[in-house]
Amino acid sequence: MEQLKGKTVIITGASSGIGKAIAYRFAQEGANLVLASRQYVTLCEIAQDIETKFGVKAIAVATDVSKEEYCAQLIAEAIRVFKRIDVLVNNAGISMRALVQDVEVSVLKEVMDINFWGTVYCTKFALPELIKSKGSIIGVSSIAGYKGLPGRSGYSASKFAMQGFLESVRIENIHKGVHVMIACPGFTATNIRNSARAKDGSIQGESPKDENEMMSPEEVANHILSALIHKKHQLILTFQGKAIVWTGKVFSRLLDKIIFKHFAKEPDSPLS
């Protein structure tokens, strides 16, 4: 995996969960890191720990990816410090949990601003450098980007949009050497459910799912690293995730009913 040694990798949403795990795994392979998140103090602690453990350079950049100007500053800082960009990991994201009829429009907009527009902004500003380096763009998406999930309308919409956008970027640059991969981890034990927005925009709090039964962020990071090295276009993890994508193509109506029953069983489900 010498391909990452000395390369510059930008990771959004790097202060926790999958983003943090990717940071540590890529640093282990010798990558220099630009870590982005709104949690600046936490980012600085992670960057310092990574430099101490792996001997690479890691910088923290306070970034709200829902704001275009923050994303422009993130990319500019990466270029200023490292003079190049080799990999962009669009990982920052939030979820929501409410029925369409109940949720406030502002919640849907917030989810779209972070998950979709954050990807658009960072990719747009980094693309010239990625073309120069023949680098990679990774979008950390979700099975919700293949199948609309009840109670997660805004989240599903944002991931569908992210995937469509990144597929267009891939095709537009097919002869320029830019690699684009969409990674769908499936249910992962991160804090995205704990920080999900309720119908009024408040934080949901306790996760409605058993985190112990899920894939760990470190496992996801290992899979993403391997898929990056092999230049895969698509990464779908877990049997459940692969089954949903396949079933959705063949038995769409049946899958709708199965998914409804699954999510209706969650504690305090808005579907019940």
**Digit-coded pLDDT (tens) for 42-63:** 999 999 999 999 999 999 999 9
**Digit-coded pLDDT (tens) for 213-225:** 678 999 999 999 9
Phi, psi values for residue 188, rounded to 5°: -125, 145
Average pLDDT over residues 241-251: 76
**CATH number, domain 2-246, options 3.40.190.150, 3.40.50.720, 3.60.110.10, 3.10.20.30:** 3.40.50.720
Determine the distance from the C-alpha atom of residue 48 to the mean position of all C-alpha atoms in its chain, rounded to a whole number: 23
Cα–Cα distance, 88 to 13 (Å, whole number): 12
- Please indicate whether residue 234 or residue 193 has the higher confidence score (pLDDT): 234
pLDDT at res. 245? 77
Cα–Cα distance, 118 to 129 (Å, whole number): 18
Average pLDDT over residues 78-91: 98
Domain ranges in the chain are 2-246
pLDDT at res. 256? 73
In the block, tokens 């949720």 appear at 103
Q: Is 70 a catalytic residue?
A: no
Average pLDDT over residues 118-147: 96
Least confident of 33-42, 56-65, 189-198, 199-208: 189-198
186: alpha, beta or left? (left if phi > 0; alpha if psi -120 to 50)? left
Assign 267 a pLDDT band (cuts: 50, 70, 90): confident
Angle, helices 118-133 vs 68-82, to 10°: value is 30
Q: Over the chain, what is the mean pLDDT?
A: 91
Please state the pTM of the whole predicted model.
0.87
Among 235, 190, 232, residue whose Cα is nearest residue 215: 190
**Residues sharing a CB contact under 8 Å with residue 19, sequence separation 6 or more, in sequence order:** 11, 12, 13, 37, 89, 91, 92, 140
Q: Is the dihedral of CA 104, 110, 116, 121 positive or negative?
A: positive
**Residues sharing a CB contact under 8 Å with residue 198, sequence separation 6 or more, in sequence order:** 96, 97, 98, 107, 204
3-state secondary structure 145-162: HCCCCCCEHHHHHHHHHH
